[in-house]
């Protein structure tokens, strides 16, 4: 089992750095109703993991996937046909688990307009014991109509509290895996690039894997390589396109 799988949260209380979100979701679990959520935030902060932990808390047999009530539409496959099939499956009772069905729609901002139109109608007529969770790195890419049919939860990724929780989590892993404590982790551990204030749990775990593999303790002066995030690349491309369009208009 790799580090990411080993330390993936299984229940809501395992999720780090999101106390407000977890408090609200825990209250939902105590009195659940059919509805839809939007989990928004930077990549690697635990949106999909939280959705799966929520499904487990609702009694879904997560290891049984669709048969246990956990359904997913992967990023890049969110067309009208996929949504129609999802809505059809949600009308069926799972063979295992509590009967709750949780559908996770990953990177919902990539869905087609046809898919969104089908969701807009489907969200108005959800079957009993059904929860839809849309995840997105760019909530403003979703339409107001879709957001208006969902409860929204913003995942923290750049506050001092989140960074402290991340470093505490990584320090515990280092101590558990190596048997030796680490006094201080690099301040930039888990950060993609200097211009981006967001931190990523997934990236931080990936960055310490080589040191855990050979049993060394993470030194506080370690040079953490910065990686260009998808969001940064996408934003730069949009800016360049806008500048090109403006230059064309001026030339005309």
Look at residue 170 and tell me if it is in a domain. Answer: yes
Do 57 and 174 reside in the same domain of the chain?
A: no
Look at residue 97 and tell me if it is in a domain. Answer: yes
Do 23 and 134 reside in the same domain of the chain?
A: yes
Run of H or E including 72: strand 70-73
Share of the chain above pLDDT 70, in %: 83
Domain of residue 87, CATH code: 3.40.50.300
Look at residue 111 and tell me if it is in a domain. Answer: yes
Residues 117/145, Cβ–Cβ less than 8 Å: no
Residues 41/74, Cβ–Cβ less than 8 Å: no
Question: Closest Cα to residue 52, out of 172, 133, 144, 154?
Answer: 133
Do 163 and 130 reside in the same domain of the chain?
A: no
Does residue 55 sit in helix, strand or coil? helix
Rounded-to-integer distance, Cα 90 and Cα 66, Å = 10
For residue 19, pLDDT over 90 is answered with yes
**How many Cβ atoms from other residues are within 10 Å of residue 184's Cβ?**
11
Return all residues near 18 (Cβ < 8 A) that are at least 6 apart: 45, 46, 50, 155, 156, 162
What is the Cα gyration radius of the chain? 20
Rounded-to-integer distance, Cα 14 and Cα 52, Å = 12
What's the CA angle centered on 9, arms 111 and 169, to 5 degrees? Answer: 115
Lowest-pLDDT range of 19-23, 202-206, 235-239: 235-239
Do 138 and 202 reside in the same domain of the chain?
A: no
Look at residue 246 and tell me if it is in a domain. Answer: no
Do 65 and 123 reside in the same domain of the chain?
A: yes
Residues 105/134, Cβ–Cβ less than 8 Å: yes
For residue 244, pLDDT over 70 is answered with no
For residue 239, pLDDT over 80 is answered with no
Do 150 and 167 reside in the same domain of the chain?
A: no
Residue ending a domain, choose from 101, 135, 154: 154
Rounded-to-integer distance, Cα 39 and Cα 62, Å = 19
Rounded-to-integer distance, Cα 90 and Cα 70, Å = 10
Look at residue 10 and tell me if it is in a domain. Answer: yes
How many folded domains does the chain comprise? 2
Look at residue 252 and tell me if it is in a domain. Answer: no
Rounded-to-integer distance, Cα 232 and Cα 195, Å = 9
Rounded-to-integer distance, Cα 180 and Cα 178, Å = 5
Domain with 150, as residue range(s), is 3-154
pLDDT one-digit tens code per residue, 176-233: 888 877 777 787 888 887 667 889 999 999 888 877 776 665 544 444 555 555 555 5
Do 125 and 14 reside in the same domain of the chain?
A: yes
Q: Going by DSSP bridges, is the β-strand pair 130-136/35-40 parallel, antiparallel, or unpaired? A: parallel
Residues 108/136, Cβ–Cβ less than 8 Å: yes
Residue ending a domain, choose from 137, 154, 171: 154
Do 47 and 101 reside in the same domain of the chain?
A: yes
Do 26 and 145 reside in the same domain of the chain?
A: yes
Residue ending a domain, choose from 154, 188, 219: 154
For residue 116, pLDDT over 70 is answered with yes
Do 136 and 185 reside in the same domain of the chain?
A: no
Average pLDDT of the chain to the nearest whole number: 86
Look at residue 251 and tell me if it is in a domain. Answer: no
Do 105 and 172 reside in the same domain of the chain?
A: no
Look at residue 248 and tell me if it is in a domain. Answer: no
* pLDDT score at 220: 47
* pLDDT score at 221: 45
Do 50 and 145 reside in the same domain of the chain?
A: yes
Query: Per-residue confidence at 106, pLDDT binned at 50, 70, 90?
Result: very high
Does residue 162 sit in helix, strand or coil? helix
pTM equals 0.83
- Which residues partner with 162 through β-bridges? none
């Amino acid at each position: 089992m790799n580090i990411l799988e080993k330390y993936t949260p299984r229940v809501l209380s395992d999720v780090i750095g999101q106390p407000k979100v977890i408090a609200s979701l825990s209250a939902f679990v105590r009195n659940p109703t059919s509805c839809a959520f939007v989990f928004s935030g930077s990549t690697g902060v635990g949106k999909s993991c939280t959705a799966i932990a929520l499904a487990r808390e609702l009694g879904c047999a997560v290891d049984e996937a669709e048969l246990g009530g956990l359904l997913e539409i992967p990023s890049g496959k969110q067309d009208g046909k996929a949504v129609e099939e999802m809505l059809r499956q949600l009308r069926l009772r799972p063979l295992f688990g509590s009967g709750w069905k949780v559908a996770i729609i990953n990177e919902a901002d990539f869905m087609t307009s046809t898919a969104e139109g089908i969701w807009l109608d489907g969200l108005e007529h959800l079957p009993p014991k059904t929860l839809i969770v849309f995840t997105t790195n760019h909530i403003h890419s979703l339409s107001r109509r879709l957001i208006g049919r969902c409860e929204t939860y913003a995942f923290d990724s750049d506050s001092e509290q989140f960074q402290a929780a991340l470093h505490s989590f990584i320090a515990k892993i280092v101590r558990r895996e190596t048997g030796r404590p680490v006094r201080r982790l690099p301040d930039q551990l888990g950060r993609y690039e200097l211009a981006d204030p967001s931190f990523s749990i997934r990236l931080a775990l990936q960055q310490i894997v080589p040191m855990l593999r050979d049993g060394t303790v993470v030194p506080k002066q370690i040079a953490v390589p910065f990686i260009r995030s998808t969001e940064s690349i996408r934003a730069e491309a949009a800016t360049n396109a806008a500048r090109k369009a403006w230059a064309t208009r001026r030339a005309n």
